[in-house]
Structure 1
Amino acid sequence: MKLIFIKDFEDSGHACRNCRHLSKQKVSTCPYCKGGMEEVNYLIDLAAQRAVEQGSLIEVIADNKELLDAGGIGAFLRF
């Protein structure tokens, strides 16, 4: 897997206190383990940390209109 995001990307979101699921959407209960979600102001830092823990690559993109239009963050998955 490769996590890609726009340089200086910042976004808040929610993280599960139990299973560590991350979401940009405001949800109070984790859809995977039903644990409680907490608001985080550093979503990209958590996503990058999880990617590294899973042995994934990270690529920071300086300027890409398509990626910016898609929300500034994305991933190439291996399946």
Structure 2
Amino acid sequence: TGWLEGTVERDAKGFILTGQDLLRGGKRPRGWSLQREPWLLETSMPGVFAVGDVRHGSVKRVASSVGEGSVAVQFVHQYLAGI
């Protein structure tokens, strides 16, 4: 995740914030340019998704990471279809 340093929001421990964790007081992330709220695994950069151990609040297990990855693929397809 080093290549994302300074481009996506993180928590105090360095985990990447995604989805509802990005909403503060009902407000979208700073610089969020879309008319919708971030999707479940989407970072503060529209179209960039985080899964597994790097994501804030994730279950730190391989099977969970694989499952999140498959969900993220569907979000990528939805995102690309909308641009």
If asked which structure has higher relative contact order (CA below 8 Å, sep 6+), I would say 1
Q: Tell me the TM-score normalized by structure 1.
A: 0.27
Higher helix residue share: 2
Q: Tell me the TM-score normalized by structure 2.
A: 0.26
Higher strand residue share: 1
Larger radius of gyration: 1
